[in-house]
Structure 1
Amino acid sequence: MIWLTWRQFRTQAAVVFAAVAVLAAVLAVTGPQLADLHRTAGSGLVDRVSGSDQSLYYTGLLVVLAVPAVIGMFWGAPLISRELETGTHYLAWNQGVTRTRWLATKLGLGAAASMTAAGLTSLAVSWWSSPIDRAVNGGGATDTYFPRLDPVAFAARGVVPMAHAAFAFVLGVALGLVLRRTLPAMATTFALYVAVQLVVPLWIRSHLAAPDRTTVPIEPDGAPISVQDEAGQIIAHLDDVPGAWVTSQQTLNAAGQPAPVPSSFPDCLRTESGPPTLQQFEGCIADLGALGYKQQVTYQPAGNFWALQWAETGLYLGLALALTGFCAWWIRRRVT
């Protein structure tokens, strides 16, 4: 049964693992030079990365983020839906193999291959990007590169991509079982996986580890301050906490209570000739600070990276196990 499953699965697996091997080879050639540059430049590395290495940095991010989605669509969704669609599952069940063992073999082999492919890709990209990640966490400029805790970079580092791949694969299998058609299962797998990948960083990830909280005075010489919209929403930038992921902010009045900025503040920022000058902006900020307003910032410090990694890994593996149980129930009760 394992050999038959592998024969059915080997073409898709070969394509993905070949692509991973090519990427790993490119990273292995260029990575040592980047590491040497970091040893020389330290946090200044972010200003000295070549254009080709910068392109490779973003390519690595995109590849690691895409691998679980590709696995779910092209490995998970067709794995069983193709057999249900053509009716070949009846032949397999008449060869002395129960449907439960048939499902377990396909899920076990596919999930192991999925986690291996995602793990190898993440390992290669994380190793290559580690000099840039260390430079950013050490206080290097972050306008071009993401801190490891940034929602984009976080999903492309460490062990989380392996859990993402396992979840995407089992999600594809489950949808294939339910829909019994390959193309609809592939499209639905992609849509649901992307939806989950948006929901988790927006509403769940920040609660997987205890955050830190700080209160920043609103004053021209304090933490960098910007104004987000015409209503005068204040944004404080924690330049003194490199690598942090700011999850929420709120403005506090002189009594320490959440409150909007006074209406006089947006009016202060408006001029007939357009945006205020730097001197005018600092004057408005100073007036707001004089009224006792402060900015409370909630953030995940860079040191929480691995705590969040393991917590999210457990979350996705738990979802994958739940979907596995659903598949086992569905194939026994609903598939005929």
Structure 2
Amino acid sequence: MIWLTWRQFRTQAAVLFAAVAALAVVLAVTGPQLADLYRTAGSGLADQISSADQSLYYTGLLVVYAVPAVIGMFWGAPLIARELETGTHYLAWNQGVTRTRWLATKLGLGAVASMTAAGVTSLAVSWWSSPIDRAVNSGGATDTYFPRLDPVAFAARGVVPMAHAAFAFVLGVALGLVIRRTLPAMATTFTLYAAIQLAVPMWLRPHLAAASQTTVPIEPDGAPISIQDGAEQIVAHPEVPGAWETAQQTLNAAGQPAPVPSSFADCLRTESGPPALQQIDGCVADLGALGYKQQVTYQPADNFWPLQWAETGLYLGLALALTGFCAWWIRRRAA
């Protein structure tokens, strides 16, 4: 049964593992030079990286993101949907193999292969990127590269990609089992997986570990401030290297949450074009003089691993729940 299952998706597996191996070789060749550069440049490393290494940095992010999605679409969704679509599952069940064993073999082998592929990819990319990550966490070039806690980089580091891959694979299998058509199952898997990947950083990840808060004054020479939504929202960026800002709240002189006063928008208004820098500084100074401050909620850099393990548990829990659903469905509904 294991041999038969492997034969069914060995081509897709071979293609993905070959791509992962090629990337790992490139990273292994170029990584030591980047590490040597960090030892001499320290936090200034980000300003000395070549364009080729910069491209490789972003390529690594994209590849780690792509591996679970590809696994869900091309390994998970067709694995059972194709058999249900063609009717070949009847042959297996009539050879003395129970539905539960048939499903368990497919899920078990596929999940192990999925986690291995994602784990190797994440390990290679995390190792290669570690000098850049250390430089960024020390306060270097965050406008070009991402702190490890930033939503763009977080899911491409550590152990989380393995859990993403296991979840994507089982999600594809579950959708294939329910939809029973390969192409619709593949498309639905990609759409649903992408939606979950957007939803988790926005609504769940900020609450998976205890956050920190800081209150900064609103003043031209203070923490960098950006103005959004037509001067109705202020966003402050305190100097907390490697942190991930998750929430902003404007406070009035009494320390209570309050909207930005309309006088601030009036101060920034001009007859034509955007306000000049001096005008913006003056308006910000006036707002600060009224006692307004900005409260920033953030995940500190030290929360990287607690968040990694928490999110890993979340996705593995979802994968186990989907596994239970698949077992129930194939016993009760599939025929």
After superposition, where does 1:162-241 map in structure 2 within 5 Å? 162-238=162-238, 240-241=239-240
Alignment pair present for 1:153 and 2:127: no
Q: Where does 1:119-134 land on structure 2 (aligned, <5 Å)?
A: 119-134=119-134
**Secondary structure of the residue that 1:22 maps to in structure 2?**
helix
User: Alpha-carbon deviation of 1:141?
Assistant: 1.6
Letter in 2 for 1:93: W
Query: 1:97 matched to which residue of 2?
Result: 97
SS in 2 for 1:156: coil
Correspondence for 2:106: 106
CA distance in 2, matches of 1:141, 1:26: 24
- Listed one character per residue, the Cα deviations across residues 19-58 of structure 1 (whole Å, up to 9, x for unaligned) are 0000000000111111111111111111111000000000
Write out per-residue CA displacement over residues 32-91 of structure 1, whole angstroms, 9 at most, x where no aligned residue. Answer: 111111111111111111000000000000000010000000000000111111111111
SS of 1:21's partner is: helix
Looking at structure 2, the residues matched to 229 and 86 of structure 1 have their Cα atoms a distance apart, in angstroms, of: 54
Amino acid of the residue matched to residue 65 of structure 1? Y
Residues in 2 aligned to 1:136 and 1:209: alpha-carbon distance in whole angstroms: 21
Residue 318 (structure 1) aligns with: 317
- For the residue of structure 1 that corresponds to 2:291, the secondary structure is coil
Counterpart of 2:293 in structure 1 is 294
Can you list the C-alpha shifts for 1:144-201, whole angstroms capped at 9, x where unaligned? 1111111110010000000000000000000010011100100000000001101100
Partner of 1:247: 246
Separation (CA, whole Å) in 1 of partners of 2:226 and 2:11: 52
Q: Helix, strand or coil for the counterpart of 1:214? A: strand
Q: Which structure 2 residues correspond to residues 4-19 of structure 1 after superposition, within 5 A?
A: 4-19=4-19
Give how far 1:211 is off.
0.3
1:281 Cα offset (Å): 1.6
Q: How does 1:24-63 map to 2 (within 5 A)?
A: 24-63=24-63
- Segments of structure 2 that go 5 or more residues without pairing to the other structure are none
Question: Structure 1 CA distance, aligned partners of 2:19 and 2:265?
Answer: 53
1:315-336 Cα offsets, whole Å, 9 max, x none, are: 0000000000000000000011
TM-score of the superposed pair, with normalisation by structure 2: 0.98
In the alignment, structure 1 residue 79 sits paired with structure 2 residue 92 = no
Alpha-carbon separation, structure 2, partners of 1:73 and 1:232: 42
User: What is the CA deviation profile of residues 195-214 of structure 1, one whole-angstrom value per residue up to 9, with x for unaligned ones?
Assistant: 11011001000000010011
Partner residue in 1 for 2:144: 144
- Rounded to whole Å, the distance in 2 between the matches of 1:334 and 1:232 is 53
The alignment covers a number of residue pairs equal to 335
Deviation at 1:271, TM superposition (A): 2.4
- Stretches of structure 1 that go unaligned for 5 or more consecutive residues are none
Q: How far off is 1:273 after superposition?
A: 4.5
In structure 2, give the amino acid aligned to 1:48.
Answer: Q
CA distance in structure 1 between the aligned counterparts of 2:9 and 2:227, rounded to whole angstroms:
53
CA distance in 1, matches of 2:271, 2:334: 70
How far the C-alpha of 1:138 sits from its partner, in A, is 0.5
Q: What is the TM-score normalised by the length of structure 1?
A: 0.98
Query: Which residue identity lines up with residue 122 of structure 1 in the other structure?
Result: S
State the distance in 2 between where 1:67 and 1:335 align: 29
